[in-house]
């Protein structure tokens, strides 16, 4: 008998999870409610089983691909294997184990579809958005509290997309800081600017970054797992395309001064945004 399915669409990528355990299926549906899309055709279908023993792999995530092109992602609380369209996962019976597996799965799947998961906050106004990129402790959550009249899409991890012949876009994800959750934003927004965060005791200010410097900064903040050369090459390609299309800045900010990225672009470019 086919197990009941929960289907999620994150970053424009639909993945279906067959979950027979009622408790876990309910927890997954509740946590990712705003990203449930049962009518989409899934890129991938994962059959999930659960255990009460968290000893399925090593402490840190390991992602590898075998000679047949089959992927495997392991951590102590999950072990997931998949091919082109389907796979199987065994997980510790915890929503946090599922969340960890989902992040790794999407980060790996994303680069095959010209997307990258990045440690960044994002905020939107109208149909456009801005990304605020930085590693843990850089101030992503802080800066989202300082934005004027913007809708915060996420404060921790977003998905950047660079399809050929199309404007770069940013997608929200359900992966908020401190393993929290926030309002869902399932549609993409045009990416207007990328800001690399730097805390400052002086007044809030910014300066334009060159393409090479911006690319290095973006690569440092990728959500990447494992050492697969295919993933590394594709990630570099997508990151380069994003930086080529979107202006990048170093943003020095104070914790008590509001931030208006649209005003920043008007001042630097001398045009309305």
**What pLDDT digit, counting tens, does each position of 80-91 carry?**
999 989 999 999
Q: What's the pLDDT score for residue 273?
A: 43
Q: What's the pLDDT score for residue 174?
A: 95
> Domain count of the chain?
2
| Mean pLDDT confidence for 148-162 | 92
- Whether residues 131 and 168 share a domain: the answer is yes
CB-side neighbour CA atoms (13 Å) of 170: 29
- Whether residues 210 and 139 share a domain: the answer is yes
- Whether residues 89 and 210 share a domain: the answer is no
Whether 107 contacts 224, CB under 8 Å: yes
**Integer Cα distance of 125 and 154 in angstroms:** 14
Domain final residue, candidates 113, 139, 157: 113
- Whether residues 180 and 119 share a domain: the answer is yes
Domain range enclosing 68: 5-113
Whether 82 contacts 70, CB under 8 Å: yes
- Whether residues 264 and 131 share a domain: the answer is yes
- Whether residues 108 and 153 share a domain: the answer is no
Q: What's the pLDDT score for residue 80?
A: 96
CATH no. for residue 134? Answer: 3.40.50
Q: What's the pLDDT score for residue 271?
A: 44
Cα dihedral 233/239/244/249 (nearest 10):
-140
**What pLDDT digit, counting tens, does each position of 244-270 carry?**
999 999 988 777 667 776 666 666 555
**pTM over cut 0.75:** yes
**What pLDDT digit, counting tens, does each position of 190-246 carry?**
999 999 998 777 767 778 899 999 999 999 999 988 778 888 999 999 999 999 999
Name the more confident of 115 and 39: 115
- Whether residues 119 and 203 share a domain: the answer is yes
Whether 120 contacts 155, CB under 8 Å: no
| Mean pLDDT confidence for 135-141 | 87
Asked if the model's pLDDT at residue 167 lies above 70, the reply is yes
């Amino acid at each position: 008998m086919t197990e009941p399915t929960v289907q999620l669409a994150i970053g424009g990528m639909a993945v279906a999870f067959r979950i027979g355990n009622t408790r876990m299926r309910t927890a997954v549906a509740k946590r990712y409610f705003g990203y449930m899309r049962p009518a989409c055709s899934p890129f991938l279908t994962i059959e999930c089983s659960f255990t009460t023993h968290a000893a399925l792999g090593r402490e840190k995530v390991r992602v590898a691909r075998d000679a047949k092109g089959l992927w495997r992602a392991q951590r102590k609380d999950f072990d997931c294997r998949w091919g082109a369209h389907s796979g199987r996962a065994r997980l510790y019976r915890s929503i946090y184990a599922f969340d960890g597996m989902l992040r790794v799965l999407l980060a790996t799947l994303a680069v095959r579809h010209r997307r990258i998961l990045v440690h960044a906050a994002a905020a939107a106004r109208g149909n456009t958005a801005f990304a605020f990129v930085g590693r843990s402790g850089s101030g992503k959550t802080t800066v989202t509290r300082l934005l004027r009249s913007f809708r915060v899409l996420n404060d921790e991890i977003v998905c950047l997309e660079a399809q050929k012949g199309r404007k770069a876009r940013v997608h929200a994800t359900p992966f908020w800081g401190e393993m929290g959750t926030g309002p869902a934003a399932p549609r993409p927004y045009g990416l207007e600017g990328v800001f690399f965060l730097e805390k400052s005791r002086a007044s809030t200010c910014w300066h334009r970054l060159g393409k090479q410097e911006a690319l290095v900064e973006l690569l440092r903040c990728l959500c990447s797992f494992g050492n697969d050369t295919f993933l590394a090459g594709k990630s570099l390609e997508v990151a380069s395309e994003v930086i080529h299309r979107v202006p990048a800045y170093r943003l020095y900010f104070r914790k008590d001064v509001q931030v208006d990225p649209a005003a920043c672009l008007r001042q630097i470019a001398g045009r309305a945004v």
